[in-house]
């Protein structure tokens, strides 16, 4: 076990999911999900396609509605109350597979938009914060370009910076590297590793097992809408308990 994985997990609960169920129409996507995430934890979620990984993390910031059970984020119960949803969304940052930058705004405007309109930060201060985080993801010189002029890896790093500008306490990642060419994956993973080292609470859906080994302190395996197995990365990879996990790992690590 390396030193990053050992650091800064407190016993303060960041996310608490109890008995959560979700249906799309009659299709039961998520079944009886129980999950407690502590502040500072880095969790990697993996599993076969269609197993409900995206749906799970999208429920956490209410991009999807759940029908049963409870989700509590930073002590705020996620209900249909719009106030609570807004509170949670401004606490939780999210990065998407396809970046979802705003193509009609410059990189800088992408990063300052939410702080200015949601947090009511003065423009100047918001721009300073944005430049700070753009430097952190190593693309301050692109600030005045438009997203369409950047490479995929750069765009994803901008997306991370954009979320960070809201100073979230929790970050969700939904396959942030799977739309990228191999040579760009590393630059995005490096950014995420740096973030993890600073103690950010992170939930990542990813199939980058190297990343999972290096930074995660828990790996969750999902299948058919259920959490099948969760464990520390070493245990998880070397000693998977369920048969489905073994099969999945043999497929994904086999080549």
Partner 1 sequence: MSDTHAQTVAFVRHTEIPPAPPPPGQTGAVKWMRENLFSGPFNTIMTLLGVYIVYTLVVGIFPWIANGVWGVDNIRECREITQGNGGACFAVIEQRWQQLLFGFEYPSSEYWRPTFAFVLLFVAVAPVLFLNLPRIMLAFTGIYPFLAYFLIWGGTILIPITALLGFVVGYFAFRRLERNSFAAGLFGAVAAALITWWVTGFLVQAAPNFLALPEVASRNMGGFMLNMILGTVCVSLSLPIGIALALGRQSHMPIIKWICVIFIEFIRGVPLITLLFVANVVLAYFFPPETSLDLILRVIIMITMFSSAYIAEVIRGGLAALPRGQYEAADSLGLDYAQATRLIIMPQALKISIPGIVNVAVGLFKDTTLVSVISMFDLVGMIRGPILSSTDWAGVYWELWAFASVLFFVVCYGISQYSQWLERKLQTGHR
Ligand X SMILES: Nc1ncnc2c1ncn2[C@@H]1O[C@H](COP(=O)(O)OP(=O)(O)OP(=O)(O)O)[C@@H](O)[C@H]1O
Three-state SS for 226?
A: strand
Residue 54 vs 110, nearer CB to ligand X: 54
15: β partners: 37, 73
Nearest residue by C-beta to Mg ion? 54
Contact pick of 55, 129, 156, 163 for partner 1 (by CB under 8 A): 163
Residue 49 vs 238, nearer CB to ligand X: 49
Residue 54 makes contact with Mg ion by CB under 5 A: yes
Distance of CA 116 to the CA centre of its chain: 23
110: β partners: none
Residue 78 vs 137, nearer CB to ligand X: 78
Instruction: For residue 36, report the phi and psi dihedrals to the nearest 5 degrees.
Output: -120, 125
222: β partners: 227
Contact pick of 32, 65, 81, 86 for partner 1 (by CB under 8 A): 86
Residue 206 makes contact with Mg ion by CB under 5 A: no
Three-state SS for 221?
A: strand
The terminus-to-terminus CA distance of the chain in angstroms comes to 24
Residue 118 makes contact with partner 1 by CB under 8 A: yes
Let me know if 155 is exposed, middle or buried by CB neighbors in 10 A (0-12, 13-18, 19+).
buried
Residue 40 vs 225, nearer CB to ligand X: 225
Contact pick of 114, 185, 209, 228 for partner 1 (by CB under 8 A): 114
Instruction: For residue 202, report the phi and psi dihedrals to the nearest 5 degrees.
Output: -130, 140
Contacts with partner 1 by CB under 8 A lie at 61-63, 82, 86, 89-90, 92-94, 96, 98, 100-104, 113-114, 117-118, 146-149, 162-163, 166
Contacts with ligand X by CB under 6 A lie at 24, 27, 29, 47, 49-55
């Amino acid at each position: 076990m390396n030193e990053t994985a050992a650091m800064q997990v407190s016993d303060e609960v960041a996310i608490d999911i109890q008995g959560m169920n979700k249906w799309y129409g009659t299709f039961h996507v998520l079944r009886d999900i129980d999950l407690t995430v502590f502040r500072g934890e880095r969790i990697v979620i993996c599993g076969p396609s269609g197993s409900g990984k995206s749906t799970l993390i999208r429920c956490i910031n209410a991009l999807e509605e759940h029908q049963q059970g409870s989700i509590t984020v930073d002590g705020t119960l996620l209900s249909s109350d719009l106030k609570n949803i807004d509170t949670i969304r401004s606490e939780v940052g999210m990065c998407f597979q396809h970046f979802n930058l705003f193509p009609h705004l410059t990189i800088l405007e992408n990063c300052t938009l939410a702080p200015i309109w949601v947090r009511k930060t003065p423009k100047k201060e918001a721009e300073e914060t944005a430049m700070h985080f753009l430097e952190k993801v190593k693309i301050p010189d692109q600030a005045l370009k438009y997203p369409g002029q950047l490479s995929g890896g750069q765009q994803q790093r901008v997306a991370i910076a954009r979320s960070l500008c809201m100073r979230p306490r929790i970050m969700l990642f939904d396959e942030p590297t799977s739309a990228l060419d191999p040579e760009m994956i590393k630059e995005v993973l490096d950014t995420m590793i740096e973030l993890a080292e600073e103690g950010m609470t992170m939930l990542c859906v990813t199939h980058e097992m190297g990343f999972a080994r290096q930074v995660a302190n828990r790996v969750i395996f999902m299948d058919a809408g259920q959490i099948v197995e969760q464990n520390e990365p070493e245990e998880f990879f070397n000693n998977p308990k369920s048969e489905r996990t073994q099969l999945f790992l043999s497929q994904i690590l086999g080549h």
